[in-house]
Amino acid sequence: MADSPLLAIDAMGGDEGLPVMLEGAALALDRNPHLRFILVGRESAIAEGLAAHPALRAASSIQHAEDTIEGSDRPAQAIRRAKTTSMGVAVDLVKQGTAHAAVSGGNTGALMAISKLSLRTMKGIDRPALAAPIPTLGDKDLVMLDLGANAECDMRNLVEFAVMGAAYARSVMGIERPRLALLNIGTEDQKGIETVRDAAAILRASDHLPIDFRGFTEADKLSRGELDVVVSDGVSGNIALKALEGTARFVTDLLKRAFTSSIRSKFGFLVSRPATELLRHHLDPNNHNGAVFLGLNGIVVKSHGSANDRGVANAIDVAVRLLAGDLTARITADLANIEKGPAQ
């Protein structure tokens, strides 16, 4: 990767569209002045928006794309329109080697379909997976995958997800031997379906890899901070993620209701405000933004559609760290090592 990472930004993606994407890119540039951007979307609108961000304007070029992918668009529709949409053009810039990575806050299914068709999967990878950081009680987030890209997974897929998730943790979080487990209905070796048990057997036998395999984990232990990577099929992973997000909203809404129920509780809120602010900060999805489609021949990062400028900046930071950590090379080497087995 060059000293100045060049990122293609789908400037029209996300719930808030252009204003937040520009604000997020400007914030990311303020954090890392070496960044350069290709802002993809309607040229006149982007040029007008850049008037409020002179530093970003100086660090960016504009690639015109007339159309946008809507949240209601189906993946098949998005693929047919990819060449004229800001999302499709941003991904194509990565394919052509013009940009080092792409970032979009648009339709997840559409972005997955366009990215897979354009970039293709890496050699040795059967299916790409969607990975994202999840907040924990530990010092670092937990990387979880797959979060919905693959409804059905076989043993090979789960092993590949483990390799890719561990490489992500090493590249983005700086953990050289990530603690990894498979999501299951129990922690005992005999629990779960055959596919999960077979994947565990292969990972146990691959102790020559830079993975600290911890066996199985259950969904109620995801936030304890005892693991760095958790692997599952896309359905289980997506359900677990949505349950965690729902629980976080439930806790924050319950606290808000409790602290506004009476004069006495309002006084209690003032006393405990530092603690509640810390909780709010820890559960804010903007502070853990940046899902990644692992296993493709290129880096594509998915920002929350509802992300604010901090969230967009954090998604851009994930892309930069994946590039700096040479994620693709790490995955390729680890897959090769699984095939070869331990050194004799």
Q: Write out pLDDT tens, residues 82-119.
A: 899 999 999 999 999 999 999 999 888 889 899 999 99
pLDDT at 274: 55
C-beta atoms surrounding 343 within 10 Å: 6
HEC profile of 182-205: EECCCCCCCCCCHHHHHHHHHHHC
The helix (H) or strand (E) run that includes residue 238 is helix 234-259
Asked which of 131-140, 160-169, 203-212, 255-264 is least confident by mean pLDDT, the reply is 255-264
Least Cα distance to 172 among 113, 119, 131 occurs for 131
pLDDT at 271 over 60: no
Side-chain-side CA neighbours of 48 within 13 Å: the count stands at: 7
- pLDDT level of residue 29 (50, 70, 90 thresholds): very high
The dihedral through the CA atoms of 237, 238, 240, 245 has a sign that is positive
- Indicate the DSSP class of residue 133: E
Helix (H, G, I), strand (E, B) or coil at 137: coil
> What is the tens place of the pLDDT at every residue in 282-332?
456 666 677 899 999 999 999 887 888 889 999 999 999 889 888 888 888
Confidence (pTM): 0.83
pLDDT at residue 344 greater than cutoff 50: no
Using a 10 angstrom Cβ sphere, with 0-12 exposed, 13-18 middle and 19 or more buried, the burial of residue 39 is: buried
| Distance of alpha carbon 210 from alpha carbon 122, whole angstroms | 20
Q: How many residues does the chain have?
A: 344
Dihedral pair phi/psi, residue 246, rounded to 5°: -65, -40
- Cα angle for residues 15, 17, 19 (degrees, 5° grid): 125
Of 5-14, 50-59, 97-106, 263-272, where does mean pLDDT reach its minimum?
Answer: 263-272
- Residue 51 CA to residue 49 CA, distance in Å, equals 5
Give the percent of the chain with pLDDT over 90.
47
Give me the pLDDT at residue 106, please.
Answer: 87
Looking up tokens 């299916």 gives 127
Q: SS3 of 6, please?
A: strand
Q: In this predicted model, which residue has the larger pLDDT, 26 or 151?
A: 26
